Structures are given as C-alpha cells and as structure tokens.
Structure 1
Amino acid sequence: MRRFLVLTTLLAGLPFSHTALAESTFSLGQTPGELPKTAVPSSYVIDLKTDLEKLTLKGKEQISFEVLTPTAEIVLNQAGLVLSRAVFDGSRGAEIFHDNKAETVTLRLKKPLPPGKHVVDIQYSGPILETPNGLYINDYHTPSGEKRRMLVSQFEVADARRMFPGWDEPVFKATYQLNVTLPANDVAVSNMPIKNTQSVSGTEKRVSFAVTPRMSTYLLALVAGDMGSLHGSADQTPIGVYAPNGLQEQGRFALNAAENILPYYNNYFGVKYPLPKMDMLAIPGNYQAGAMENWGALTYIDNVLLFDPKNSTPRTKELIYEVVAHEMAHQWSGDLVTMGWWNNIWLNEGFASWMEIKATDKMNPDWDIWPRQHETREATMSVDALSTTHPIQQTIHNVSEANSAFDSISYGKGELVIRMLEGWLGEDHFRDGMRMYMKAHAYNNATSQDLWNALSKASGQDVAGVARSFTEQPGIPLIKVASTCANGVQHYTLTQSRFAIHDPKAAPLTWSIPVVAGGPNLENKTFVLGSEPVQFDLPHCHSPFKLNLGESGYYRVQYDDSSWSGINTEIANFSAVDRANILGDQYALFRAGKAPLAAYLDLAQKLTQGNEHDIAVLEEIINVLSAIDTNEHGSPEQKAFRDFAITALQPSMQRLGWDAKPNESVLDTMLRPSVIGALGEFGDEKISAEARERFNKWKVDPSALAPNLVGVVTALAMKQANEADWSFMANKVRSTESTELKLRLFSAIASAHSPELIRKNVQLAYSGAIPNGRVAIALSIVAGASENPDLVWKLVKEYESAIRGHLAPWAQDGFLPSIAAHSTTPSTLEALQNDPSVQTSSGAKLATEKAINSVQARIEAMKLTQTQIRAWLKK
C-alpha cells in the first residue's frame, strides 16, 4: 500500500518498543496476533447481495478449515456485521456471541470439534460504508456532471472483517471464491477473472469470480461501477486499466508503464507473476489508502493512475510510474510472500518502496531518481533521530498499532536499508537471494530472518549480523572521521556512535555499518564498521576523502577539521548526490548541536553562487532555507535572512525563467516551481507581482498557465487573497471533477492567511468538496500553510464531530495530532494531551506522543537557529 497522507509523515516513528526482537524464521505458532490458533482456514466461498440504495449487504459464506487443537469455540473477526446463523459440518448449530469492541464473533458448540477438516456455513448482514474502508460506496460525478455511485473495497489493515466474517490476520492464508449480486449495468472487477454472470432481474445480476490463489484476507478486492477500460499484455499476462467511464484513456501511461515493468519483475524475482490477469483500477477521489496491492486487482486513487495532459505535471507522471511500480512489486513481496504479522510490515512496504525506485530508474534514467531520493532520506532520518522513533521491526499488539506502523520508518528507512544491503552484497547476489526467498516462501508467510537467510546463502556473507543491527534497533549511526597528517600521509580513524536530535538520553547503540568511501581521483574503500575503530592511510594530505559515496548508506558522518578541509575545498567536484549528502549531514549535525549553522550556509552559498544546476542539490538547499525561514518566524533577523535566501536562489531563477525553454530537461521543468515557490515565500517582490499577474490571467483563461505552474502561482496569490479571490478558488475546488486538480487547488487555497478565510478553508475541507479520503490531509495542510495552526486547532475542535464522520476508523487516531503538530503554542499542545480522543487507543496515544516530541524538537531548532543566524548574517 502506498499511503499519501500528511499524517503518515507528521506522525511517523511512533514508539512501540525499542527492544530488539531477536526474530526467528516463520512458524505459525510463534507468529503474534489476536486470534487463537486452534483452527486455520483453507478456503472461503462468499455470496454477497448488495443494496446500494439502502447501503446494506447480506451474505452467505462457507469456510473450510482445519482444527489443530480440539475446541468448542471458533473465534472469527467481524466488525459491524450481524451473524444470524452458523452451522458446522452440515448439522451442528452453534451459539453466536458478538464482541463489537474486540471486533470478533465467537461460534460456540456444545461439544468440541476434533482435529481435522471441517466446514462452517454462516449467514450474516451488515452495512455498506460511506467512509473509505471495508466495503464502501464512492459517489462522484462524471466529466459531464452526472452523479455516479461506485462500490469499492479497502481491507488493509483489518477491514475485510467488515465485508465477511473470517480469520482477518495475514498469517491465515486461504483461497477465496467470491460471488456478488450487483446492479445489472455495473462493471465488476475482483482479484480473479469472471467465470460466470447470471441475470437476477431486470436491474440486477450475479457475478461469480474464479477461485484465488492462497492469500491473506486483506488482499481480497471488489470494485464495481460505471467503468471503462484499456487492455494490453506483457509476458502473456493480460493487463487492464479501469477508470470511471470516459476517463479510461487517461490510463494509457500507467498501462504502458505496467507493460514495461512486469517482464522486468518476472525476471528479477525468478517467479513469474502467477495470476491469470492483472488489473489496475482508478478510484475517483474517495480513496484514503492512496494505492493498494490487492492481488490481481490493484486499486489507486485516480490522480496517481490517470494522466491528463491538460492538468497533469511531469511530477504527476513520475509519481504514477513510481506508484505503479510500488504496487506491482507487492504482487511478489506482500502478496505471493506475506509477513506473518504486522510487526514485519516493512518487509512489504520497505521492499516495495525500494523496488519502485529501482524499476523507475531503470526504465527512466533521465529522471535522475536515485539522487533525488535524498529528500526521502532526510525526511526519514529527521524522524529516526528523535526519541519517539522505533525499530523497523516493532512490537505490534493490536490493529490500532498496526495502522500506525505504516510510517516513514517502515517505508523510508526500510527502503534505505535495503538499498544499503544491495550495495554491500552487490546487485547479483542480492537478486539471487530474493529469488531464493520468493521460491521458498511462495503462497506462504515469512519473517525478516527468512530473508536474511536467503541473502546470506546467495552472497556467502553474514547478512543477519549487519541487517539486524538496522532493523531490530532504532535510530541512526553516526560515523566520526578523525585524521592527522604526517610526512605527506593522511592517517584516518573511524569510530561510531548514535546520532540523535532532541534526545539527550538516547541509549548508546552499535551497528554493523557497510561503508563505501572515496572521492574525486581517489580509489574507493569498502568495509564494515563495527564496535572497533577502522584505521587506514591515504598517500596525500587533505584529500577530498568522503564516506557514504553515492549516499547508499544509512548513517550520518561527522568529519574533524583536518578531514573536512579537503571535502570543503573540492565539494564542487563531487557527484550531485554526494554534494546533496554532504549538505544534508551538515544541517543534521547543526540540528544535533554538533556543528554550527554557518558551516551549512557557507556551503550552500558556495554552491548556489557557483553555477549549481542539479535538482537534488538545489531542492536540498531550498528545503533547508525554508526550514530556517520557519524557525526565524518573528525574529528581527528574518528579513536579512530572506534577503540572503533570495540572493542565493537568483542564479537558478535567472537560468530557468518563468516559462519552459525549447527542449529543456524534465528536471528543469520540475525544479522551476520549487524555485519560484521558495522565492515567493521569502518575499521576492518581483516574483510575487508576476505570480499575481499570471493568476489574474489564469482566472480568465485556464490555459494561460502551464500545469506545473498552476499550484505555485495560485498558492502565492492566495497568501494575500481577498474574499473575491477566495470565492473564485473555492468554486474551482468544488466544481472540478479532476482529483489531481482539486487537491492542487485546495493546497493553494489553504495558503490564505486571514482568520476569516482560514475558517472558510476548514469548513470547505469537510463540506463535501474534498473526498472523504482526503479530509484529514486537507485539514493538516491548512494548519501548516495558513501559518496559524492554533486557529485551525480551535476550528477543528469546534467542528470535530462533523469532521470525524468523514474519516475512516484508521484515520481517527492521528487526526488531532496531525493538526497540533504544526503548532508551537503550549496551550494547544496541552489541549491535545488532555483531549479524551487521544486516550481511546494505543495508536492515538502513540500519535500524540510523537506529535508532542516533534514540536519540542522544532522549538529547540528555532532557538538554536535564532541564536546562530545573527552572527552568521553579520559576518
């Protein structure tokens, strides 16, 4: 699953357990979970009758299962369902006991079931939901304005139990044969092809799908509605793209991407995609998960699957490719081989995040993807450095905690650690290990240790010894480089410690760190740094010798003055990714109190005034300058700092200009809005005036702005918006049917600063103008972009009951913390801590703790910045 939530970023790194798991290979008995393991399912036959007007479903279900230990009770998951009948083995009736709080139902027999194979037949009923989880309805409008209703499923983490009773944990794999009665004109798609369609009446039909392979409950899928489709194939596998009727042609780019990616994955994993078809479905707007890897029926919010030349940008195209590659990678890592329990969700998400970049880079080398992963690295490490981080492999006790585990540690750190392991072992050895792992655990479950064993066998290295130091303990290693020069020889000593921000009591930890080091005209050195120092000599003093070449390692580096001098002098001669890496580490060292802010600013000034063109380097600088500007809010030095920042970015603006040049690179097209937006934020009067002029032209003629400039121009215009500007934009948000454009325009309107317009934006967010699946992120955007999070907090609390009615259950825990996380006001943070909602689950408590900790770290950064910037500006 690829979640696109501000909540995921703000609330990532929740504190579960810092204790190493010392995990073993997979076994059913040792797998954590909430259900008893006295019985395991083997197959489900599910027959659903849906009523899309009354929003109800009726179900009949037959489950074949095996009893492992004699038991008179079978405990299944259900949420919101009412079971009316349960009969075992054709004749043995059972008493039915619902526990809605635990989301279970207990079927109790008078006599125990003996070990062996059994069957239970169940009748039940339940609701079809309006929030984007379980089996729900998605109301939308066609391009011509007609209202349509789509039936959609979203089951990860634990919402299959809202459509049918069952063993709704990933370890309980089974086959599924789904039958569903639907409106006669609806197009229905599930994991497998349709095997039969029968007319029930003039208005209804019964669709039967083929039996799935053995898989986990959360991967079952059902989507039905007024859909059109495109079709292609790759490696003899049919591939389809489904979208609301009339929009299917916008899926052409995603279809072509899938046709290129599938043969690559078939070869890479050494196991051919095993299902008879692969469909990708665009869900219009109301899809909170972002994207989901349902086996054979991959679902996406429409703006990450459909490319509209009129509205879509180059970054949209790149995002579509990445998300398609991500969900397709899950067809093997997650679907074919599945983690046993959510403590290993990183095996799904970290791997898919790494594979999406690897595949996208291979197919689109001009996008320069790997160097631009520097932004992912910095965002991930900023979370992992705090006291509220957690190991990649974490203790998960319940569903609430499982939902919170989909964070930047599971995704971002998982991706970066896998990349480091591949770089250490070599691409061929790593791939061979993945092939062994897939073949050994196909249609079954696995743990991280199973993966380490396969990689060790393929490479001959002790992979677990290195990998577990990164997956089973939290935090970031810091490598310290010390050197001395004597007789023309530079002597280096490398040691390690733990890197932390705003965590004076961080536990000391030791990692086994794969290191790649070198520099311009220097021979590379590779080694693993453990608890003992590593020492070596170079034949020249003050060489530009750098660790973490290519930014392939997950660690920070701190150089002493002697080691730093050569890097500082030669920084322009390093590759772009290494320049970005040097900058990123330098700012992080400042945040940790280990280096002055001046060291970063001096480097940034040298590069920006020295003809720096690379997007990864410039966006690193833009992000840090923006962070410093935020930390300078209200400071008497802010104006002088902004003048410096404008000067620093002027060479880039002069090179790029406002409009695309003939045959310019796609990277320059992507960079332009970032530079314009930053200059506007820093108060460049020429930029702001030009943005206002272009905004006024765009209001009259939407084609007056290139798609990639719409977001930045409208956002700059909205900062000083009047009532008429706001009303124009709000009407655009309400009326546009393009999810991509709707969300882009809402992000712009969220920049309005006046209190009255902030109130209107909060109301707009949950008015129905924004799909339910994006309400939480929309409100978090308003809290940040308005620069008045305390007012947004008050308004959200005022309208809280109405807002929560739009949110899926798994979005409830992080909702209020995602608003308060933008504030630095003690009363707002105290209100969050005392709010009754944050005590309702362990997930909510963890989200609150994370939000408070991130705010405290930001306050510390503000004080540190304001103290040091004054002296640097005077210099």
Structure 2
Amino acid sequence: MRRLLVFSSLLTTLPFSLPALASPTRAETIFSFDTTPGELPKTVVPSAYMIDLVTDPAHLTLSGRETVTIEVRAATSSITLNQAGLTLSAATLDSARTATVTEDQAAQTVTLHFPAPVAPGRHVLTLAWSGPILTTPNGIYRDDYRDAAGKTRQMLVTQFEVADARRMFPCWDEPAFKATFQLNVTMPFEMTPLSNMPVLGVSHQGAATKRVSFRPTPRMSTYLLALVAGDLERVSGETDGVSVSVYAPAGREDQGRHALSAALALLPYYDDYFAVHYPLPKLDMVAIPGNYEAGAMENWGLLTFIDNDLLYDPATSSAATKELVYEVVAHEMAHQWSGDLVTMGWWDNLWLNEGFASWMECKATDRMNPAWQIWPRQHATREKTMAMDGLASTHPIQQPVKGPSDADAAFDDISYGKGELVIRMIEDWLGEDHFRDGMRRYMAAHAYGSTTSADLWQALSAVSAQDVGAVARSFTTQPGIPLVRVASSCANGRTVYHLDPSRFTLDGRDAESPGWRIPVVAGGPGLGTSRLVLGGHATLEASGCAAPLKLNLGESGYYRVAYDDAAFTALNRALTRFAPADRANLLGDQFALFEAGQAPLARSVALLNTLEAAGGERNIAVVEELIAELTSLDHDAAGSPHRPAFEAWARRSLAPVFKQLGWTPRPGETLVDTILRPEVIDALGRLGDAAVIDGARRRFAAWRADPSALRPDQVGPVAGMAVRTGLPGAWETVAARVKASTSTEEKARLLDALSQARDPASIRRNVAFAYGGGVPNGRIVSFLGDVAESSEQPDLVWSLVKAQEATIRPHLTPGSTDKLLPRIAAASIDPATLAALATDPAATRSPGARIATQRALETARTHQAVVTRVLKELASF
C-alpha cells in the first residue's frame, strides 16, 4: 500500500504498518458471460427480438407474437426462457419445427421441447402468447387517473426492473442477455405512444385501434425496454443533436419546462464527462400520474417518473420539489451511460448502476447549481445509510443474488447510499481528473456490454497508478462501517494522535476491523491537511497541545470517528471554525456513538450548546442534522415524564434559525432557506412549540377556507400539525383534499400530514383509507409504514393491518408484498408484535420477505435498546 503525500508542513504523518486484510474479500473477476450468475441456461442467447403486441386496456388483456433471432451455443433439445403469467399458444423454430411447451409459473419460465437436438448456430424462434394487463405497478399495467377536469383517464405503462419484462413477452429476462428490440404495438387510436426509439410508422387497424411501429433499439437488456401510451402532450428542445422532450398528461405539459431545462443542460455535461456521445436520437421523459411505485426508471431513451419527480409548477409546487426534479432527472440521465450503455452483468452488482447514478446526480446538480449546497447536505444520506449499515443484518454493497425476489430487496440504502458515498470517497482519494479519465476508459471499453465491479477498478487503476481494487473491495465486498478511534497525547509542545480502526455497530458490540483500507483526510483550523490510507494502527502529529484535529475532513470518507476526551474537547472548542460539512459530521458521528451506547448523550449536548452559545446554527446541512437528532430523541421519549423539559430545551436550539426565517419568505432569499423554513416549522411543531402550533392552526383555518391562502411549502407542516394535535375536523378536511386532488405532489404532502394522526380513531381511519382507494397502489406500504411510525402507536397499526391483510395484499406488487408487515413492525418495540412478525407465514414466503423481516426485527430490537438509553439519559438531563 502506497502512503500518499502530506500537503502541510504543520501536520505530519508518522510511520505505520499496514496489515493484511483480517478476512479475505471475494476475488471478483472481470465480466464473463459464461460465469456471470443467473437462473437461465446460457446455451441459447438471443440477439434480436421483433415483437407484435395487441393491447386491450379496457379489458386488461394483451396478446402477442414475436420472432427472436437466437444463437444456439451447444446442441440442445430444449430452450428455456422467462415468462410470468403468460399463456403460450404456439412455439416454432425456423418456421418448421414445432415445440411442445412446459410452463412453470412458480419459476417464471417456459421450456420448449424439441424431438431432436437443435444444432449450434443461428436460428429464428417464433412464439405466440396471451396474458393480462395488470393494475399493480409492475410489468405492463393500466394506470387510471383523473385529469385536471376530474375526468378519469387511462394510461398504459411498463415497469420491468428487475424482472417484469417477462410479464409482457417471453424473453431472456436477465441483464447479461442483451439484444435489440423492434416493438410493434396495437392500441386504442386516441393514445399517444412512446417507446425507447422514435416511431417508425403508424397504420390504422379499424376505427378504434392503430398499429404503431418503433425503430429498433441498440443492444440492451430486457429490463430497459419501455412502452407508455396515453393522453400525452410535450414540451421539447434539442441539444448536442439530440431531441429532448418531457411528456405529461395533456394540460400539464408546461409543468415539464423545469425538467426540460435541466436535461438540456445536463446532456452536454454527460457527453463530455463520459467522452461517449449519447447514442440514441431522442431522450424522452414522461410523467406517470399517481400509481408508479418505482419513483423513476432509466429505460433507455424513455425515462419514466412518478409525476411529482418530473413536473414543477411554480404556482403550486414547493421549493423542495424544484430541487428534487433536478436531482432525479440528473440521476436517471446518468443511467443512460452507467446502467444502459454499460450494464452490470447480474444483480449482485446493482450498485454499479445505482450507487454511481446517485453519486453523479449530486455531482452534476452541484456543478449546475452550486448555491444549493448539495454535497454538505448529503450528510442526511450518509446518516440514513449508516443507520442500516450499522445493523448486524446489513449486507455488502456486492451481495449474492439468486433471483428476482432477493434482487428486488437489493434496491436499498446500501446499493444507493453506500454505493454513492464509497464512489465519492474513491473520487476524492484519486482526484477528480483521474476518476473521470477512468470512467471514460471504462465506458469506451464496455459500451453496449456488461461488467462487474472488477472492470471498473481495472479502468481506474490504469489511469491513476493506484491499486484501486484493494481499497474499493474492502468497502464493496464487506459489510459494515469502519470506526476510527482517535487517542491523543501531548509532549514537548506537539500532539500525537493514535488512529486505530475497528467496526462501528449499532448494538454496541466491540467488533474488530475486517481490514478496511480507509482513505483518510485529516486536518483542522490552522493545521492544514494530511491524507493517508489507513489499514491498521497509525499516528499523526501536530504542533501545539490540544490542536483541533478532525478526521474525515469535508465528510468525503465512509467511516465514523470516535475521539478521546482531550481530542473531543479541542474539537468542541473549535466547532464553529469548521466548515458546515464538518460540523454536521461531528454532530452525526457523536449522536450515532450515543445511540450505540459508546458515548454519553452529554457529548452531543455539549456540541449543541457550543452552537447555541455562538448565536445558533444557520447552515441548512447542520440544522437538518440538529432536527434529526432532536426529533429522534423526542420520539423515543414518548411517555416519559421528562419529555416536556427536553422539548423546551430542544426548541431553544432551533429558535435562532426560526427567528431568522420566520413564516414569511424574504425577497430574494436563497432556495435552501426556502427549503429549510418548512422543515424548521415542522420540527418546532413536533417539539411542542405553542406559538408555532397556534400559528399553524390559524393558517390551517385560512387554508381550509381558501387553499390559495397558504404557500405550497407550508401546507405539509401546517396540515400535519392540525392533524397531529387533533384539531376538530382536520383529518376529514385533509382526507377530502387527498381524494379531490389530481396532483401527486399535493397528495403526497397531504398523505404525510394524515399519517401523523395520533388518536386511535384517526389511526383506524388512516389504515382503512390506505386500502380503500385513498392511496395509490404503489404507495400503500410506505403510507402504512409512515402511519405506524408517526402515530407513535405502531402496535395498533399492526393489529389493524393484520385484520385486513387479505384485502390489502391484492393491491401490492411482489416486492411490496414482501415489505408490508416488516415495514410496520420495524416501528415497534413491543416483543409481542416482533414475535408475531417472526412467526408469521408471510415472513418466510420468499427470499425478499425473509430479508425484509430480518432487517425489521433487528431495527426494532436495536431501537428498543436506544429507547432505554434515551429514557435513562433524559432522567438525568
């Protein structure tokens, strides 16, 4: 291991040894089609699909016929591919050989049997089938929504990731089986059709239907194929020779102009960054109203979004939505290269898609909007990710995946958040130019192909002259969070800091380091900066005693730090001299150490008191961390006689920033202040601020009489306070507005307000509202989980959901079915509820259910220990 140079003469690195990895990591190799994991045999490989699909949205049926050009790699008497819920009526090979068909709905496969072996070489397979159009948001489904005039409309939508292309047509539905797709679809005449490529031609099929043909796609994976059709209009532009459009339900297309502006700015940036020009002739983005569980999807050339992630109306949208739209567009556009052009070979490397796109969305958004303070505010992503990664049930970024159920479970904070944060750490270690040049090399080498993480490390190593794999694999193939313990001593006017890595765990167990190679950045006011790769004991030295040395300067590294008393005291004295990212980092690490039972709450309180003594915190990243800590402690103090005294103290920490922001926006204020205001108002309301609650109630009354009386940013916290505090008629008013609204953004903020009800009668109404049509199918599980957590009565929610389980489950996708009960039980600390989850038949129904159950049980049990700790600390607060 090569020790990096020190850039400051004031802070020096003393010699240290780097031991071998404590436990060997999996030696992943570069991509090989033959050895990449998967469920299908690799004896037959498709190269081109020509698909003819006939849809009947009114009757929720489809039928199809396809010809697939295949390469038989070894003589075989059978061909196995994927299908789910389809019925095959014909299967022939080379127009002459008829197959007998065996369907396995449990395995989601169909096998074609031939009386004699099929010879190696090129063949053409022809299949015919029929099947359903779903109403749950997966596969090909019908999305029913109401337009601005209240008229019910229908939209055809596809959502194929991870393994639902097989619900529309028989195919080799695994990412490594790349092919081209030429799609032809018969549909109602009035529908506007969209797919990955431009329309090739349209022919009438009688008075009511038309057949639309699309140009063939580039070589790509099945999960990236897409079809959307409905009453759509667009706004358009062009950049770098590519037509860029945002489609929305007719009448709302102007709300796509903000996303269009973002895309037109981002496309040239990505073209330059990757040094590969966007290879399709058009880039369409389409807003799906209401029932879209995925959030957003990177289908090549046809990006799909839940509409409130794509549409922004200056008159009715919040400032947070403006920022969110930009970030989500940046994320999905980054996938057009990382994920679409170059695709992970199997779902065990999902993070190559999602971690990279999450990192790039921040990098690109920050590049285009530096005033938004994107990187310091990623502290919230870090804390959310580490909350999961600190559990014993966490998993490596790269984890074994056997099939669709556990692949679906891999879409979590580890693949996204930890993936993003580790990539950021590697870029910071190598330098932006080396990292960019490595990505360019990677894209050029693997365009239209598949990869593993090893391919990326190889490209980055080649341009940086560093052994990137040795550092990166220690974070991607091992679970958990490094913890660097810092002990300091001073002699002869110099302070020596001893650094010792271990593992941070939320259950407080003393875990040895599994051998991370940690890129460490250290420094502080007046100390300069030092960089090293930490793999074992090391020392740093600085001039003077009690120098405020901080590790993870800039919060660019994925690790926590625990300081001894002397080092912590020095940092606390200098707290306000550190940058916002470092203040948030110190607060976050210290609070996590308290939750894990490795530090007293008094240390977190000392940091907050330092900020208060300096006049209060103003920076959004730090304030958001303060809010997270204070509201978490308050939630855990439910039922404690000491809760009112704690809340009074907590309100003082937020008073200065609320005094600055107030209820009314100032002319010319920044976007981040506009975003922060409702967060602070909501937090103060949760902390029992009588003046804020009174102000919210008065504003709620005005909004009830006139919805334009309240700024969109403030509807959520104001309605939430009215519902949470039991204002008469508040629940009914908000529920009625949810039902009447045709805006997904408005529905989302009002559903969040409803979920905060704490009286048992309203909790019962919330559960019934979820499955009774008040909540889109794709949002039922998340809403019920929010109700369980925000109501502070998760056990009541559990009993209500169990009583209606048979009614709720038909509304859910397979992935949501796995998460339903775990999502609710995770909010409980009642042993009876946790035991009921553990023994429920649904808990072991699938690999995804087993994963969700294990996480929920550990989350709840860890939380139970934290609550005990909080109550004890508050008693002597």
Query: Structure 1 residue aligned with 2:554, among 533, 546, 550?
Result: 550
Task: Tell me, yes or no, if the aligned pair for 1:80 and 1:162 is still in contact at 8 Å.
Answer: yes
Deviation, 1:19, is: 8.3
CA deviations on 1:344-366 (whole Å, 9 max, x unpaired) are 00000000000000000000111
CA distance in 2, matches of 1:125, 1:253: 40
How is 1:401-420 mapped onto 2 (pairs within 5 angstroms)? 401-420=406-425
What residue identity is the alignment partner of 2:48?
A: S
Task: Tell me, yes or no, if the aligned pair for 1:477 and 1:510 is still in contact at 8 Å.
Answer: no
- Say yes or no: does 1:273 pair with 2:278: yes
Task: Tell me, yes or no, if the aligned pair for 1:403 and 1:810 is still in contact at 8 Å.
Answer: yes
Residue number in structure 2 paired with 1:32: 37
CA distance in 2, matches of 1:427, 1:504: 37
CA distance in 1, matches of 2:176, 2:461: 25
Task: Tell me, yes or no, if the aligned pair for 1:135 and 1:151 is still in contact at 8 Å.
Answer: yes
How is 1:363-382 mapped onto 2 (pairs within 5 angstroms)? 363-382=368-387
Helix, strand or coil for the counterpart of 1:473?
A: coil
Deviation, 1:116, is: 0.9
Distance 1:839 1:811, change over 3 A: same
CA distance in 2, matches of 1:807, 1:544: 53
- Between the two proteins, what is the percent identity of the paired residues? 55
Query: Structure 2 residue aligned with 1:773, among 759, 774, 778?
Result: 778
- Say yes or no: does 1:669 pair with 2:674: yes
- Say yes or no: does 1:736 pair with 2:712: no
Query: Structure 2 residue aligned with 1:122, among 121, 127, 131?
Result: 127
The answer to which of 155-164 and 725-734 deviates more is 725-734
Deviation, 1:508, is: 4.2
Query: Structure 2 residue aligned with 1:445, among 445, 450, 471?
Result: 450
How is 1:550-569 mapped onto 2 (pairs within 5 angstroms)? 550-569=554-573
- Say yes or no: does 1:490 pair with 2:469: no
Task: Tell me, yes or no, if the aligned pair for 1:393 and 1:472 is still in contact at 8 Å.
Answer: yes
Deviation, 1:720, is: 2.7
CA distance in 1, matches of 2:852, 2:286: 31
Helix, strand or coil for the counterpart of 1:514?
A: strand
CA deviations on 1:775-810 (whole Å, 9 max, x unpaired) are 111111111122211111111111112211111122
The answer to which of 554-563 and 71-80 deviates more is 554-563
Task: Tell me, yes or no, if the aligned pair for 1:136 and 1:151 is still in contact at 8 Å.
Answer: yes
Residue number in structure 1 paired with 2:592: 588
CA distance in 2, matches of 1:704, 1:96: 64
- Say yes or no: does 1:724 pair with 2:747: no
The answer to which of 673-682 and 428-437 deviates more is 673-682
- Identify unmatched segments of 5+ residues in structure 2: 1-22
CA deviations on 1:533-590 (whole Å, 9 max, x unpaired) are 2223212211111111110000011112232232111110000110000111111111
Deviation, 1:503, is: 5.8
- Say yes or no: does 1:600 pair with 2:604: yes
CA deviations on 1:606-656 (whole Å, 9 max, x unpaired) are 213423210111110110011111121112211111111112211222111
- Say yes or no: does 1:397 pair with 2:402: yes
How is 1:65-464 mapped onto 2 (pairs within 5 angstroms)? 65-464=70-469
What value does the CA root-mean-square deviation take over the aligned residues? 1.2
CA distance in 2, matches of 1:377, 1:726: 34
The answer to which of 308-317 and 218-227 deviates more is 308-317
- Identify unmatched segments of 5+ residues in structure 1: 1-17
Task: Tell me, yes or no, if the aligned pair for 2:54 and 2:63 is still in contact at 8 Å.
Answer: yes
Helix, strand or coil for the counterpart of 2:81?
A: strand
CA deviations on 1:669-698 (whole Å, 9 max, x unpaired) are 111111111111111111111111110011
Helix, strand or coil for the counterpart of 1:181?
A: strand
Task: Tell me, yes or no, if the aligned pair for 2:575 and 2:610 is still in contact at 8 Å.
Answer: no
What residue identity is the alignment partner of 2:544?
A: H
Task: Tell me, yes or no, if the aligned pair for 2:503 and 2:510 is still in contact at 8 Å.
Answer: no
CA distance in 2, matches of 1:224, 1:19: 50
The answer to which of 75-84 and 750-759 deviates more is 750-759
The answer to which of 629-638 and 344-353 deviates more is 629-638
CA distance in 2, matches of 1:305, 1:415: 22
CA deviations on 1:189-237 (whole Å, 9 max, x unpaired) are 0000001100111111000000000000000000001101111011110
What residue identity is the alignment partner of 1:827?
A: A
CA distance in 1, matches of 2:315, 2:290: 18
CA distance in 2, matches of 1:301, 1:438: 29
Residue number in structure 2 paired with 1:534: 538
CA distance in 2, matches of 1:226, 1:563: 63
Task: Tell me, yes or no, if the aligned pair for 1:609 and 1:651 is still in contact at 8 Å.
Answer: no
What residue identity is the alignment partner of 2:555?
A: E
Task: Tell me, yes or no, if the aligned pair for 1:22 and 1:472 is still in contact at 8 Å.
Answer: no
Helix, strand or coil for the counterpart of 2:729?
A: helix
CA distance in 2, matches of 1:534, 1:503: 24
Residue number in structure 2 paired with 1:4: none
- Say yes or no: does 1:808 pair with 2:817: no
Helix, strand or coil for the counterpart of 2:70?
A: strand
Task: Tell me, yes or no, if the aligned pair for 1:790 and 1:825 is still in contact at 8 Å.
Answer: yes
Helix, strand or coil for the counterpart of 2:211?
A: strand
Taking structure 2 as the reference length, what is the TM-score of the superposition?
A: 0.96
The answer to which of 395-404 and 825-834 deviates more is 825-834
Task: Tell me, yes or no, if the aligned pair for 2:87 and 2:130 is still in contact at 8 Å.
Answer: yes
Task: Tell me, yes or no, if the aligned pair for 1:790 and 1:823 is still in contact at 8 Å.
Answer: yes
Task: Tell me, yes or no, if the aligned pair for 2:700 and 2:719 is still in contact at 8 Å.
Answer: yes
Task: Tell me, yes or no, if the aligned pair for 1:49 and 1:57 is still in contact at 8 Å.
Answer: yes
Residue number in structure 2 paired with 1:747: 752
CA distance in 1, matches of 2:782, 2:327: 21
Task: Tell me, yes or no, if the aligned pair for 1:19 and 1:472 is still in contact at 8 Å.
Answer: no
Distance 1:247 1:401, change over 3 A: same
Task: Tell me, yes or no, if the aligned pair for 2:425 and 2:519 is still in contact at 8 Å.
Answer: yes
CA distance in 1, matches of 2:195, 2:535: 49
Deviation, 1:505, is: 7.2
Helix, strand or coil for the counterpart of 1:741?
A: helix
CA distance in 2, matches of 1:119, 1:580: 60
* Runs of 4+ off more than 6 Å: none
Helix, strand or coil for the counterpart of 1:346?
A: helix
Residue number in structure 1 paired with 2:20: none
Residue number in structure 1 paired with 2:837: 832
Deviation, 1:829, is: 1.1
Residue number in structure 2 paired with 1:10: none
CA distance in 2, matches of 1:262, 1:31: 32
CA distance in 2, matches of 1:650, 1:204: 62
What residue identity is the alignment partner of 1:335?
A: D
Task: Tell me, yes or no, if the aligned pair for 1:387 and 1:503 is still in contact at 8 Å.
Answer: no
Helix, strand or coil for the counterpart of 1:768?
A: helix
Task: Tell me, yes or no, if the aligned pair for 1:21 and 1:393 is still in contact at 8 Å.
Answer: no
- Say yes or no: does 1:689 pair with 2:694: yes
Query: Structure 1 residue aligned with 2:480, among 465, 472, 475?
Result: 475
Taking structure 1 as the reference length, what is the TM-score of the superposition?
A: 0.96
CA deviations on 1:822-842 (whole Å, 9 max, x unpaired) are 111111111111211112111
Helix, strand or coil for the counterpart of 2:531?
A: strand
CA distance in 1, matches of 2:410, 2:25: 16
Task: Tell me, yes or no, if the aligned pair for 2:180 and 2:217 is still in contact at 8 Å.
Answer: yes
Task: Tell me, yes or no, if the aligned pair for 1:386 and 1:503 is still in contact at 8 Å.
Answer: no
Helix, strand or coil for the counterpart of 1:281?
A: strand
CA distance in 1, matches of 2:711, 2:782: 26
CA distance in 1, matches of 2:648, 2:283: 53
The answer to which of 846-855 and 776-785 deviates more is 776-785
CA distance in 1, matches of 2:488, 2:730: 60
- Say yes or no: does 1:41 pair with 2:40: no
Deviation, 1:506, is: 4.6
CA distance in 1, matches of 2:525, 2:507: 35
